């Protein structure tokens, strides 16, 4: 099953009859620490599984030890494709819950939690960073559309637009007929095309793309192409579509395979996500100062969360609010959590109410001054 907001909500609202072991492993093979005979994630996982038993009763320690042994054993025999760049696993001793997900967008760290319900904050972060994004690959001879989500790139139906066709068609049909030499043929003929012809094609392609994008329901778009080509194409897009462009990449990826495309766009998408996070903080602070629909600080934000008024929750990833400083009604609504579980309980409320959630990794002064949390409200 694909990781999604719906899945996160299902997990966040689950109340199993037994404690849940939540496991996150940062298995990304590109991490130098994961390339040795004993990858760092293996050591970290083993240590955290052991630490999870601290403070538990003897019976629970026995149960948790059995679960831990199973996790270590099964993860040790997974092949690289099954481990992906990250892994999330939720399981209970009685087997009521046993769900494991391979991720192509890594969780921030290897982490283990033993709690009365699934620990979802790291998965919420993966889903937020991996929000669906349309990729428009632009060249002087064609436009290609791709869909990026949670680190993976897919090819929608009717994804290729060429001037000779004046219509969208499947990229597979192009590959099957033209083979690997097509890119060379296109590149060889590129310089022969007149500027007027290029402008006409890009204008037509932009109009066709805007219709296709509307049907695909993309709210975030990245455009990749040689700068002079991409700039003309973006300018030709209708404002309603152009406003969805969150980043551009000066590179011709038109005929690349999906894997290399995902690699090239990863940093671009991460930077766009960070930029959007900063903008959200700015918007919340400015709106709150103007007396609008926004909240600052843990007391005010948590009160709004409990009332299901939050549209977008933004907090510092290292935030650790003191539960003793919260009003008794808020403590009660959160289930009187320990200090290391306040943020998790806040996230659960946000997920249950359908709010968007962003955990900020960067040090943003305005967020720090607000106590590490802000929220944009529905009303």
**Separation between Cα atoms, residue 336 and residue 329, nearest integer Å:** 10
| 164 plus 104 within the same structural domain | no
Q: Is 115 within a domain?
A: yes
∠ CA(188), CA(189), CA(190), 5° rounding? 95
Asked whether the predicted pLDDT for residue 106 surpasses 80, the reply is yes
**Which range (104-108, 152-156, 165-169) has the least confidence?**
165-169
Of 129, 162, 181, the residue at which a domain comes to its end is 129
Average pLDDT of every residue of the chain = 91
Calculate the alpha carbon distances from 195 to 165, 201, 250 in Å: 20, 10, 19
In angstroms, the CA 257 to CA 207 distance is 25
Domains held by the chain: number? 3
Is residue 75 domain-resident? yes
CA distance 141 to 184: 12
- Contact 39/379 with Cβ under 8 angstroms? no
Q: Where is the domain boundary, 223, 256, 289? A: 256
Instruction: Say yes or no: 112 and 76 in one domain.
Output: yes
**CATH number of the domain where residue 201 is located:** 3.30.420.60
Task: Give percent above pLDDT 90 in the chain.
Answer: 81
Q: How much is the pLDDT for 173?
A: 66
Q: What is the residue range of 351's domain? A: 273-377
Residues 33, 120 share a domain? yes
pLDDT band at residue 282 using 50, 70 and 90 as cut-offs:
very high
Mark whether 15 and 121 lie in a shared domain: yes
> How many Cβ atoms are within 10 Å of 317's Cβ, its own excluded?
15
Residues 238 and 313 in one domain: no
Q: Flag whether 262 is in a domain.
A: no
For 113-141, the pLDDT digits (tens) are 999 999 999 999 999 999 999 999 999 88
Tell me if 212 is assigned to some domain: yes
pLDDT for the residue numbered 343: 97
According to the per-residue pLDDT averaged within each range, which of 205-209, 215-219, 289-293 is highest? 289-293
Rounded Cα–Cα distance for residues 61 and 53 (Å): 5
Q: DSSP string spanning 289-303?
A: HTTSSEEESHHHHHH
Q: Would the pLDDT of 163 be above 80?
A: no
Assigned token pair, 261: 């495309």
Q: Which residue has the higher pLDDT, 297 or 58?
A: 297
* Token pair belonging to 227: 């700068």
Q: Quick one: which H or E segment has residue 196?
A: helix 195-216
Assign 120 to helix, strand or coil: coil
Q: Quick one: 112 and 146 in the same domain? A: no
* Domain boundary residue, one of 256, 289, 311: 256
Question: Residue 168 — φ and ψ, nearest 5°?
Answer: -85, 145
| Residue at 106 is within a domain | yes
What is the torsional sign of CA 57, 87, 340, 31?
positive
In a shared domain, residues 114 and 138 = no
C-beta separation of 261 from 146 below 8 A: yes
The answer as to whether 268 is a domain residue is: no
User: What strand order describes the sheet that includes 111-115?
Assistant: 98-103, 86-91, 20-25, 111-115
Same-domain status, 123 and 16: yes
- The answer to whether 356 and 128 are in contact (CB under 8 A) is yes
Q: Does 261 map to a domain?
A: no
User: Is the domain of 119 the same as that of 150?
Assistant: no
Report the CATH number that the domain containing residue 111 is assigned in CATH.
3.30.960.10
Say whether both 19 and 42 belong to one domain.
Answer: yes
Residues 160 and 179 in one domain: yes
**Gyration radius from the chain CA atoms:** 24
Do 105 and 66 fall into the same domain? yes
- Give the confidence band of 54 by pLDDT, cuts at 50, 70, 90: confident
With a CB cutoff of 8 Å and minimum separation 6, the contacts of 106 are 26, 27, 28, 85, 86, 126, 151
* CA nearest to 232, candidates 148, 166, 143: 143
Instruction: Give SS3 for 333.
Output: helix
Q: What is the pLDDT of residue 177?
A: 42
According to DSSP, the β-strands at 310-316 and 356-360 are parallel
Residue 301 and residue 313 in contact, taking contact as beta carbons nearer than 8 Å: yes
Of 355, 282, 358, the closest CA to residue 317 belongs to: 358
Span 252-272, mean pLDDT? 94
The tens digit of pLDDT for each residue in 174-209 reads 654 444 444 445 544 445 545 777 888 899 999 999
Chain segment 3-19, per-residue pLDDT in tens: 999 999 999 999 998 89
Per-residue pLDDT for 66 more than 60? yes
Question: Which residue's structure tokens are 């037509």?
Answer: 204
Mean pLDDT of 139-161: 93
CATH number at 290 reads 3.30.1330.30
Predicted pLDDT at 190: 44
* 90-105 pLDDT per residue, tens: 999 999 999 999 999 9
Residue 266 lies in a domain: no
**Confidence (pLDDT) at 182:** 47
Query: Of 167-181, 201-215, 302-316, 344-358, which gets the smallest average pLDDT?
Result: 167-181
Cβ-based neighbours of 31, under 8 Å, separated by 6 or more = 40
């Amino acid at each position: 099953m694909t990781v999604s907001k719906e899945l996160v909500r299902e997990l966040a609202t689950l109340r199993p009859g037994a404690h849940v072991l939540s496991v996150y492993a940062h298995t990304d093979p590109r991490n130098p620490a994961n390339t040795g005979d004993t990858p760092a994630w293996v050591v970290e996982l083993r240590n955290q599984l052991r630490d999870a038993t601290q403070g538990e009763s003897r019976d629970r320690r026995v149960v948790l030890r059995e679960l831990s042994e199973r996790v270590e054993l099964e993860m040790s025999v997974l092949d690289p494709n099954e481990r992906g760049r990250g892994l999330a696993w939720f399981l209970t001793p009685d087997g009521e819950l046993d769900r494991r997900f391979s991720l192509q967008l890594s969780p921030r760290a290897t982490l283990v939690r033993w709690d009365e319900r699934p620990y979802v904050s790291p998965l919420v972060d993966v889903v937020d960073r991996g929000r669906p994004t349309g990729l428009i690959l632009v060249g002087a001879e064609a436009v290609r559309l791709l869909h990026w989500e949670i680190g993976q790139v897919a090819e929608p139906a009717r994804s290729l637009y060429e001037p000779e066709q004046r219509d969208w068609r499947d990229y597979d049909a192009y590959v099957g007929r033209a083979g690997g030499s097509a890119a060379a043929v296109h590149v060889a003929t590129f310089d022969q095309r007149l500027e007027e012809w290029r402008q006409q094609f890009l204008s037509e392609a932009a109009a066709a793309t805007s219709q296709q994008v509307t049907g695909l329901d993309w709210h975030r778009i990245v455009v990749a192409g040689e700068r002079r080509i991409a700039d003309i194409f973006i300018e030709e897009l209708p404002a309603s579509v152009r406003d969805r462009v969150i980043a551009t990449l000066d590179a011709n990826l038109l005929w690349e395979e999906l894997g290399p495309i995902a690699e090239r766009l990863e940093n671009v998408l991460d930077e766009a996500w960070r930029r959007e996070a900063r903008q959200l903080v700015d918007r919340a602070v400015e709106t709150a100062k103007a007396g609008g629909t926004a909240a600052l600080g843990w007391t005010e934000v948590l009160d709004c969360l409990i009332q299901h008024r939050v549209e977008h929750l933004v907090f510092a990833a290292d935030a650790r609010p003191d539960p003793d400083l919260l009003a008794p009604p808020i403590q009660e609504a959160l289930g009187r959590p320990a200090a290391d579980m306040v943020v998790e309980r806040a996230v659960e409320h946000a997920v249950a109410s359908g709010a968007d959630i962003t955990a900020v990794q960067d040090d943003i002064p305005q967020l720090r001054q607000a106590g590490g949390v802000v929220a944009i409200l529905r009303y």
